[in-house]
Structure 1
Amino acid sequence: MSLKDFLKGLAPDIGIDLGTCNTLIYVRGKGIVVNEPSVVAVERGTKRLLAVGEEAKKMLWKTPEKIIAIRPLRDGVIADLETTEKMIRYFMSKVVSNSWLRKPRMVIGVPSCITEVEQKAVEASGEKTGAKSVKVIEESLAAAIGANIPIYEPAGHMICDIGGGTSEISVISLGGMVVTNAIRIGGDEFDESIIKHIRSVHNLIIGEQTAELLKKTIGNAVPDGKIEKMEIKGTDAITGLPRRLEIDSVEVREALQEPVTAIIEEIKKTLSETPPELAADIVERGIVLTGGGALLKGFDKLVSKETGVPVFVAENPLHCVAIGAGLYYEYEKEMEKSRFGTDRVY
């Protein structure tokens, strides 16, 4: 083993995708080691930690009066700093090894649309876990690194990362962000649109988990010639009694139309702001989709149809931001080598 490899083993770099829906942690050399819902259950009043992640998600909307199940992140940013810190500490306790002799470096992917105050809150949460250093980078840059896109090249690459709370579209060339746009619309907004539609049309109240299941099971962005159906359960908005209802994929697509259109318009806007030389590269190389929203059936086809540009879904789109954050220092090192022809030690 070389000295460099030995030093890396003392404290591998850690990448975090602090998502509205899920938190993913990547450890260099080990891969994704945490992939759990960004949910925390605490005791009312004392805020004593009771459950985190998968166990806490099962409690959402089902807790007795003394317990609160919280999603501490909204629209891709921290809404509850204290609870977010507890959540990150818990996840990191499952990752950090006592055998490491040095504290790890941590890189966290965040939306480019967050404010300076929100960014400082993210950094503070990371620092309190005991990391040697905490760096915050744009989600789309992290996603591009994680998707193995050759962004060092003097050519335009477009990436669209659709997370739970935000969607970020960027054009990257020579390792730098040329154009970036972000909107606070993502998977959560998809779920909320389904909830609103079913209440408005059928007077049935459903929860976030039911809406998410509908989206993942029969949701689609374009007609595919096959109408799928699914039975759901909820509360009748008029009588207050439990009721069953069968929903088809056509209706779910109608419910999703508004947020899907908003993301596509943002992609078009980003393309219109891209310098012509880089736009020509994108027409040839296509747009890469990452994030959970990339998995909506037919979304890639709809984006391609609306923009006239080839569209590809990245391999493991849910993992790209965390992987890219974890590999950031390697990316930075490669950038230095490509610019100056040197091999700096970090």
Structure 2
Amino acid sequence: MFARHIGIDLGTANVLIHVKGRGIVLNEPSVVAINKDTNKVLAVGEEARRMVGRTPGNIVAIRPLKDGVIADFDVTEAMLRAFIDKLSVKGFLSKPRILICCPTNITAVEQKAIKEAAEKSGGKNVQLAEEPKVAAIGAGMDIFQPSGNMVVDIGGGTTDIAVLSMGDIVTSSSIKMAGDKLDNEILQYIKRQYKLLIGERTSEEIKIKIGTAFKGARSEEMDIRGRDMVSGLPRTITIHSSEIEAALRESVAVIVQATKAVLEQTPPELSADIIDRGVILTGGGALIHGMDLLLAEELHVPVLIAESPMDCVAIGTGIMLENMDKLPKRQLV
């Protein structure tokens, strides 16, 4: 039995694994539950995510990746090992070949940490590929032609923006403003405005259910429960979409500015192509209501959401694994 090639989208919020010939076989949150007394891993993925904010003192639910890079090496390694073991992709005598995606501007030290974590978790011949490039391939863009393609990949920890042509990145930017920061903005707004404490999971739920990035694009209400900061007792309040738009406005403006900056550095011929083809949005942040409308209004170019934005990077790793031998060596780190 030979080991299979696997592609990993090592995201701050979710880990997706694509196995060559089988498609996306794993999509789990990047969370690990650990017993602090024994340092033993109790759960990973969805099971661990359910424990966030609900554990006794000796059990902590850790997110080992922060802003797209490894914040806790040992925990990341344990998480990857648990996921890879779950898939039974190792051969009798061989280890799987792994392709991992990383943000565009991470340092050599951070690249080395990602490679080492994958090797220690049971992979061999680990290679890295830049996230926006893989996302563009996964979204169905033909980036190997001499024409401009622009992709904005809004993940959990980072937003990667890139203009691609001839199979490579022409201009790019990676900012640490993405889904997690937006969740935190909602959490802080409710704390300031209503003196109510809510958890990360609740703020994410608010963002998904009633949040919008475009003023006036959504008009919905939601009841949320939390702990009153004054009385210390549980309390329920009702919030509206317009409040969430106001809470997210400054943070979303940072993503818009970074996208504008990349467009400003783009050669004019490629800019003309982008006006024709539009900008493709990928990543979980692409699903934030009104994000495409806001970017289209600010950039004056068409903005389209990829077919399955959450899976684009994982699908892209699959396509790259299929064509590994045809890819120029410079495409991989």
Q: TM-score range by the shorter chain?
A: over 0.9
CA drift of 1:116 comes to 1.7
Find 2:236's aligned residue among 223, 237, 244: 244
Distance change (3 Å), C-alpha of 1:225 and 1:129: closer
| Whole-angstrom distance in 1 between the partners of 2:70 and 2:90 | 29
Distance change (3 Å), C-alpha of 1:98 and 1:287: closer
1:43 equivalent to 2:35? Answer: yes
TM norm structure 2: 0.95
Residues matched between the structures, number: 329
Contact 1:107 1:326 in 2 (8 A): no
Distance change (3 Å), C-alpha of 1:65 and 1:209: same
| Whole-angstrom distance in 1 between the partners of 2:96 and 2:89 | 10
Name the aligned partner's letter for residue 235 of structure 2.
Answer: R
Q: Give the alignment's Cα RMSD to 1 decimal.
A: 1.6
Name the aligned partner's letter for residue 58 of structure 1.
Answer: R
1:328 match: 320
Contact 1:145 1:331 in 2 (8 A): no
Name the aligned partner's letter for residue 205 of structure 1.
Answer: L
TM norm structure 1: 0.91
CA drift of 1:313 comes to 0.6
2:289 match: 297
Find 2:8's aligned residue among 16, 28, 38: 16
1:170 match: 162
Aligned counterparts, 1:15-164, within 5 A: 15-97=7-89, 102-164=94-156
CA drift of 1:328 comes to 2.0
Find 2:175's aligned residue among 170, 183, 206: 183
Name the aligned partner's letter for residue 135 of structure 1.
Answer: Q
CA drift of 1:335 comes to 4.4
CA shift digits 1:279-322 (9 cap, x unpaired): 11111111001000000011111101100011111111101112
CA drift of 1:68 comes to 1.2
| Whole-angstrom distance in 2 between the partners of 1:84 and 1:108 | 13
Give aligned-pair identity as a percent.
49
1:197 equivalent to 2:189? Answer: yes
| Whole-angstrom distance in 2 between the partners of 1:317 and 1:106 | 22
Which runs of 5 or more structure 1 residues have no equivalent in the other structure?
Answer: 1-8, 337-346
Name the aligned partner's letter for residue 191 of structure 1.
Answer: D
1:219 match: 211
CA drift of 1:151 comes to 0.4
CA drift of 1:129 comes to 2.0
Which runs of 5 or more structure 2 residues have no equivalent in the other structure?
Answer: 329-333
CA shift digits 1:36-59 (9 cap, x unpaired): 111111111321011111111111
